[in-house]
Amino acid sequence: MTMAVGAAEAADAVKIGLLTTLSGDGAGLGVDTRDGFMLAVTEAGGMLGGVPVDVRVVDDARKPETAVQAADRLVSEDKVALMTGIVFSNLALAVVPRVTRDDVIYVSSNAGPSQLAGAGCHPNYFNAAYQNDNLHEATGAAVEQAGVKRMVLIAPNYPAGKDSLTGFKRYFKGEVVDEIYTKLGQLDYAAEIAKVRADKPDGVFIFLPGGMGINFVKQYDQAGLKGDIKLFGPAFSFDQDVLPAVGDAALGVINGAQWSLDLDNAANKAFVAGFEAAYDRLPSVYAMQGYEAAHIMGAGLKAAGGDVSKLDDLRAGMRKADFDSVRGEFRFGTNQHPVQDLYAREVVKDDKGRLVNRIVSKVFDDHVDAYAADCKMN
C-alpha cells in the first residue's frame, strides 16, 4: 500500500519510506508503529523538523522476501531518502544492510539486532528504539533488584529467544534453575508450566512475543502459579498491544521497558493524550518508537535544512537528536543506538479500569548496549 500524506503535493517534500507489518501475523505492531509515526507528522502539519515530508507506507507482510522487494522499490523507484518502520529483527537484517549501502538513512523504530549494533554498525543506520538485549537486561536487573534468587527462563527456540536469555543473564546473578526452549508459535504451555511447578523456582522469566505470550500468561494464571511464582519478562508480552487480550492474568507482572505511559514529562503527556485523541486507544511501546523515530528524522532534516543530499548534515543532526523525547532524556551512543534509562514496570489497573503499566523503579541510568564497543564507526 502506498499512501501519500500531508504535504505530499509539495514538490520539495522529502520522501520517507515507512515499511512495516500491516497484514498477517504481527499486523497490530505495524499498525501501532505507523500510527505513532503519522501522529508526529500530522501534529506538525505534514512536516518533520519544519520540512514537508511525503510518507510512503508499505506493507511487508512479515516476510523477509516481501520486505526486501518492497524496500528495493522504495529506494529505486520512489527514491526515498529515509526509511523506518520494520518491526521484526529478521526483516531488519534482510533490509537494513541493503538500503544503508545505497545511502538511504534507516531509522529503526523497533528491531535492534546485535549484528547491526556491533561489528555491522553503519553511519546510515540509527536505532530509535533500543538494542534488542536492552529490555531483557532491564528485566534481569529488575529481578536482581527484587531479590529473587532462583529463576526458570523460557523462550522460543530461535535466535532471538537465545539472545533474550543471554541478555537476561547478563544482569541476573542468581541461580538459573532451568532454561526451557519452546517451539516458535507454540499454543499450549501446560507441559512447561507443570515443569515450572515441579522446579519450584522463585520466579519465571518469559520472552514469548505476540500470541505465544498471551497463551502462556493466561495458562500460567489459570494454573494458579502466578501468586506463588512471580512472572517477569520484557515489555513485549505486557504492553498496550497485548494487555487487553491477556486480561487480568497479566496483573502484577514486572516487565522491563525503556518507556511507560506514566513517565512524568511534558512531551510524554502530550504524546499519550494526542495518541488517544487521534486513535481512541492508548499508545504502545511500538507507537512510541514510531513517534520518536519521526522526531529523530525531524532533527536531521532540520539540520540539513531539508536538503537530503547533504548527507553529512542530516546524519550529524540525527546524531545530536535535539528534540523533546517522550523518554525524557535521549541521546545516541557511538553506534547510533540509544543511551537511555530503563525501567521496571508493573501491570496495574488505571482509574478507568484499563490494564496499564506503572513504573516501579529505574533499573539503569544512561544504559549503553553490550555491542557498542564492537562498532568501529568513524
Partner 1 sequence: MFALLIEQVLNGLQLGVMLFMIAAGLTLVFGVMGVLNLAHGALYMVGAFAAAFIAAETGSVVLGILVAMPVAALAGLLIERLVIARLYARDHLDQVLATFGIVLFANEMMRILFGPRPLFLNVPDFAAGTLEILPGVPYPVWRLVIILVGLVVAGGLALLIERSRLGMLIRAGAQNRRMVAALGVDIGRLYAVLFALGGLLAGLAGAVAGPVLAVQVGMGEPVLILAFVVIVIGGIGSVRGAFTGALVVGLADTLGRAYLPELARAVLPPAAADQIGAALASMTIYLLMALVLAIRPKGVFGGRD
Partner 2 sequence: MAAIDPHSTARPPAALAPTATAPTGHAARGGHASIIVVLLLALAPLVASAAGADYLVALTTRIAIWGLAAASLQMLIGAAGLPSLGHGAFVGIGAYAVGVAFHHAQGMDGALGFLAGGGADDLLVTLPVAALAAALIALPIGAISLRTSGAYFIMITLAFSQMLYFVTVAFADYGGEDGLSLWSRNTAAGLDTGDAIVFHYICLGLLALWLALAHRIAGSRYGLVLAAARDDDRRLRALGRSPYGLRLAAFMAAAAVAGVAGALNANLIGFVSPTPLAWTTSGELMVMVVLGGAATPAGAVIGAAILVVLEEMLGRWTEHWAAILGPMLVLAAIFNRGGVLGSLSRIGGRLRGGGRR
- Say which residues have a Cβ less than 8 Å from residue 36's Cβ, sequence separation at least 6: 109, 275, 283, 286, 287, 288, 289, 290, 291, 292, 294
List binders of partner 2 among 29-58 (CB under 8 A). none
Task: Give the count of residues interacting with partner 2 (CB under 8 A).
Answer: 32
Kindly state the smallest distance separating residue 104's Cβ from partner 2, in Å: 16
Kindly state the smallest distance separating residue 247's Cβ from partner 2, in Å: 28
List binders of partner 2 among 149-208 (CB under 8 A). 157-160, 162, 183-184
Specify the residue, 8 or 225, whose C-beta has the smaller distance to partner 1: 225
Please choose which of partner 2, partner 1, none residue 180 contacts, taking the beta carbon within 5 to 8 angstroms, the exact cut-off set by kind.
partner 1
Q: How far apart are CA 212 and CA 165, in angstroms?
A: 16
Residue 131 Cα to chain centre, angstroms:
9
Instruction: Give one DSSP letter per residue of 161-184, joined into a string.
Output: HHHHHHHHHHH--SEEEEEEEE-T
Kindly state the smallest distance separating residue 250's Cβ from partner 2, in Å: 26
Please choose which of partner 2, partner 1, none residue 195 contacts, taking the beta carbon within 5 to 8 angstroms, the exact cut-off set by kind.
partner 1
Q: Which stretch binds partner 2 (CB under 8 A): 68-76, 240-248, 269-277, 308-316?
A: 68-76
Q: How far apart are CA 48 and CA 51, in angstroms?
A: 5
Q: Is 102 in the site for partner 2 (CB under 8 A)?
A: no
CB 165 within 8 A of CB 207: yes
Direct distance between the N- and C-terminal alpha carbons of the chain, in angstroms, rounded to an integer: 37
CB 368 within 8 A of CB 342: no
Q: Is 351 exposed, middle or buried (0-12, 13-18, 19+ CB in 10 A)?
A: exposed
Kindly state the smallest distance separating residue 191's Cβ from partner 1, in Å: 4
Q: Which residues bind partner 2 (CB under 8 A)?
A: 1-2, 22-23, 27, 59, 61, 63-66, 68-69, 72-73, 76-77, 89-90, 93-94, 97-98, 113, 115, 157-160, 162, 183-184
